[in-house]
Amino acid sequence: MRVLMIGSGGVGDAAARIAAERDFFELWVVADYDVARAERTVAAVTGRHSGMKGGGARELASATLPRLHGTPGAPGGEGRFVAAQVDASSAEAVTELALAHGATHVFNAVDPKFNIPVFTGARAAGADYLDMAMSLSQRHPEQPFEKVGVMLGDEQFAVAGEWEAEGRLALVGIGVEPGLSDVFARYAADHLFDEIDELGTRDGANLVVHDEQGNDIFAPSFSMWTTIEECLNPPVIWEKERGWFTTAPFSEPEVFDFPAGIGPVECVNVEHEEVLLMPRWVDAKRVTFKYGLGDEFITILKVLNTLGLDRTEPITVKGVQVSPRDVVAAALPDPATIGPRMTGKTCAGLFVTGTGKDGLPRRTYLYHVVDNADTMAGYDAQCVVWQTAINPVVALELLANGTWKGAGVLGPEAFDAVPFLDLLAAPKPAGYGSPWGLEDR
DSSP helix, strand, coil percent of the chain (3-state; round to 5): 35, 25, 35
Is 216 exposed, middle or buried, given 0-12, 13-18 or 19+ CB atoms closer than 10 A? exposed
Query: Phi and psi at residue 176, in whole multiples of 5°?
Result: -95, -50
279-297 per-position pLDDT tens digit: 999 999 999 999 998 788 8
Q: How many CB atoms lie within 10 A of CB 308?
A: 11
Which residues in 23-44 are b (16+ Cβ under 10 Å) and which e? eebbbbbbbbbebebbbbbbeb
Q: What is the pLDDT of residue 195?
A: 98
pTM summary value:
0.89
Amino acid, single-letter form, for residue 121:
G
Q: What is the pLDDT of residue 50?
A: 66
354: nearest Cα among 186, 236, 199, 187: 199
Low-confidence stretches of the chain (pLDDT < 50) are 52-69, 72-77
Structurally, at CATH architecture level, domain 2-131 sits in 3-Layer(aba) Sandwich (3.40)
Q: How many CB atoms lie within 10 A of CB 119?
A: 25
Residues of the chain with CATH 3.30.360.10: 180-384
- Element counts in the chain: helices (H) and strands (E): 15, 22
C-alpha pair distances (Å), 127 with each of 60, 121, 183, 370: 20, 9, 23, 32
Residues of the chain with CATH 3.40.50.720: 2-131
70-113 per-position pLDDT tens digit: 554 443 347 899 999 999 999 999 999 999 999 999 999 999 99
How far apart, in whole angstroms, are the C-alpha atoms of residue 171 and residue 163? Answer: 11
Q: What is the pLDDT of residue 296?
A: 83
Considering the four listed CATH numbers 3.30.360.10, 3.90.25.10, 3.40.50.300, 1.10.1040.10, the one that applies to the domain covering 180-384 is 3.30.360.10
How far apart, in whole angstroms, are the C-alpha atoms of residue 399 and residue 154? Answer: 24
